[in-house]
A and B are shown apart, each in its own frame.
Chain A
Amino acid sequence: MSLENPNAIEVREAVKRYGNFTALKTISLSIKDNEFFTLLGPSGCGKTTLLRMIAGFEDVSEGAIFLYGEEIEGLPPHKRPVNTVFQNYALFPHKTVLDNVAFGLQMRGNSKADSRKKAGEMLELVQLSQFANRKPSQLSGGQQQRVALARALAPQPKVLLLDEPLSALDLKLRKAMQLELKHLQRETGITFIFVTHDQEEALTMSDRIAVMSSGELQQLGDAREIYESPRNMFVADFIGETNLLDVSVDRIESGQAVCHLDGGHALTCPAIEDVTAGLNVHLSVRPERLILTTGPDTDTGMKATVRENIFVGTDITTLVDLADGPQITVRTSNSARGNERIFEPGSPVFVNMEHGAARLLVD
């Protein structure tokens, strides 16, 4: 190995074609050792395909994949020190829970007794010791999920691949498993590549996130970067909730773009590359970064009318109509302070943006 500290996985200009259909279009990304890395994207964007290429179930049409600096193309799945938690778990129905977990250890050449002993320890780690002698079909969905996890972790792979492992669980269990997964990753020190289409899950769990759509990598960064500095319309729209407004750029002044909405409201936000005066671009602003007031609070306050308040527990979502402009969404926390900023439908208000909350995007 040439590198001191090679990446756990490096995908170098990998392309995947199925006949005439290109499922992955020239993907390049590096996943660091000991990282909780998430592939995030809508269904059909190629997440599973990329995982299967790393696991060895699909060949790479072009490009290469490296595991700790070594190219793995051509190695069959059983020779790759990589394990998968399959989307439907794929627990062996004819084997007991214990033998399921022991399977990988045994295939790696450990004795039956040794494998079972280690498998028992793994089951303890996921708190399923008392179910060791049951068949998978006698367990609940959440328990099966943990068996699948124990089975994949038992042979101590260098990288663990998880294909939407929590998608079949109900909300409460999913939240608990998110924490458990995160703990397991820290305890074992194994690199996790986690696949999900749930942006909230990705944001809470990941060290870094790769956002994908239609076989392309849209943005790679940590949760904050992806959420606060989306690089394009797709990422801004897919991650969290946002207001996307059409604006025209009037001029660029010391790093700030001065623009106006269709209705004439003037706005200022940080300029980005490729944006010049006269251009029509988009402006993204998160609902929680907007504040309603009765009078113009800042110089960016925009006149609007409250249309509707929607109570969502921790927050209150307010839909307001900008004067001569589009409808936008404002989110206010359901707190004593927040409740001072809730107004009856029909009330005239001003919508104020927090400083630096707005972000320009080109198509």
Chain B
Amino acid sequence: MATRSYDIKSYTGFLQITLLCLFVLYAPLIVVAVYSLNASDSIAVWEGFSLRWYADVFTGAESAKFKVAARNSFIIAIIAATVATTIATLAATAMVRGGKFRLRAWSFGLISLPLMVPEIVTAVATLIFFNSIGFERGLLTILLAHIAFCIPFAYLPISARMQGIEDTYEQAAQDLYATKRQAFTKILLPLMLPGIISGYLLAFIISLDDFIITNFVKGAGVETLPTAIFGAVKQGIKPNIMAISTMLLGFSILMVLISYLVSRTDKKS
């Protein structure tokens, strides 16, 4: 059969390689998730099921530190994702609907290049930038840095969505007595909404779990969840770290799920 030779499943070792990849990807996560439910004080010896480390995260000795860090993380992620998504929406509108302007290819490159720059380089550069303009490090420096690096992440799904929307919709709106602004808010924006939600969730997740840049630009004593976890790990890994990591993982999965559902309901309509 002609189609058979193209069927990737018939390649030798396909199943083994697939299983290996899945194992490498998910085994560490599963271990962390399982051992977060361990009753033991040790991270390696299983002593039975318990939720004590989850309770410890909220009430234990380190709970105050984690609470402050978590609050910082969520405030920063919400503001950074909101601002970055707004900027990315406007940028996508200009790029996709702005006609053929000079430097268009360059503009696209400029927006998406940060995705390819090693994060450590961005971190050092951002730190040097804040130092050179004499900006005192603290929550605000983290927030500004997060807004900046979230923009390309928010931009990609928004512009992808927008490229699929024909401009005749806005023309039809203007033909029916809508101003350019009304055509944007009443027609284009609702059509872009699934892309905007995806972009927002992506930016939110990226901000929430950023470590390298945050670690460079945060002031002394200011922590976000990832830097607080890192700080705690440096004094030895306790099972409460596994519990907090598992919660973070669960939250990320929830966000991805929402993003998926949004894009799916949209395809149905």
- Tell me which residues across on chain A come within 8 A of B180, comparing CB atoms: 76
The residue in B166, B174, B191 that gathers the most chain A C-beta atoms within 10 A of its C-beta is: B174
Interchain CB contact (< 8 A) of A137 among B169, B191, B269: B269
Check A151/B176 contact, CB under 8 A, given A92-B169, A135-B269.
yes
| B177 and A104 form a contact (CB under 8 A) | yes
A86 within 8 A of B: yes
B257 to chain A, nearest CB (A): 23
Which of A82, A83, A88 meets B166, CB within 8 Å?
A: A88
Partner of A93, one of B173, B177, B179, B269: B269
Which residues of A have CB within 8 Å of B169? 90, 92-93
Interface of B is mostly: helix
In Å, the complex CA distance between A142 and B177 comes to 25
Q: Quick check: is A311 within 8 A (CB to CB) of the other chain?
A: no
Give the bracket for the number of chain A residues in contact with chain B: 20 to 34
Evaluate contact between A83 and B191: CB separation under 8 angstroms: no
| A155 and B174 alpha carbons, distance in the complex (Å) | 13
Pair B174/A86 contact, Cβ less than 8 Å: no
| A355 interface hit (Cβ, 8 Å) | no
Q: How far is the CB of A175 from chain B (nearest CB, A)?
A: 26
Give per-residue flags for B164-179: 1 if the beta carbon is below 8 A from chain A beta carbons, else 0: 0010110111111111
Complex contacts, A9 vs chain B, CB 8 Å: none
Q: Is B59 an interface residue (CB 8 A)?
A: no
Evaluate whether A57 and B176 lie within 8 angstroms (CB atoms) in the complex, with A88-B166, A107-B182, A137-B269 already known. Answer: no
Given A107-B176, A155-B176, answer yes or no on A77-B171 (Cβ-Cβ < 8 Å).
Answer: yes
Choose among B168, B175, B177, B178 the residue that contacts A88 (Cβ–Cβ < 8 A).
Answer: B168
Give the chain B neighbours of A55 by CB distance below 8 A.
175
- Within the assembled complex, what's the spacing in Å between the Cα atoms of A83 and B179? 14
Report chain A residues within 8 Å CB of B175: 55, 77-78, 82-84, 152
Encode contact with A along B150-173: 1 for CB under 8 Å, 0 otherwise: 000000000000000010110111
> A104–B176 contact, CB under 8 A?
yes
Instruction: Tell yes or no: B190 within 8 A of A by CB.
Output: yes
Which residues of chain A are within 8 angstroms of B186 by Cβ–Cβ distance? 103
- For residue B190, which residue of chain A has the nearest CB? A94
- Listed by A's residue number, 15 A-B pairs whose Cβ atoms lie within 8 Å are A57-B171, A77-B174, A86-B168, A88-B168, A90-B168, A90-B169, A90-B172, A92-B173, A93-B269, A103-B173, A103-B186, A107-B176, A107-B177, A107-B182, A108-B177
- 18 additional A-B pairs beyond A84-B172, A88-B166, A93-B191, beta carbons within 8 Å, are A56-B174, A76-B174, A76-B180, A77-B171, A77-B174, A78-B176, A78-B178, A78-B179, A84-B175, A88-B168, A90-B169, A90-B171, A92-B172, A92-B187, A93-B169, A103-B178, A107-B182, A108-B177
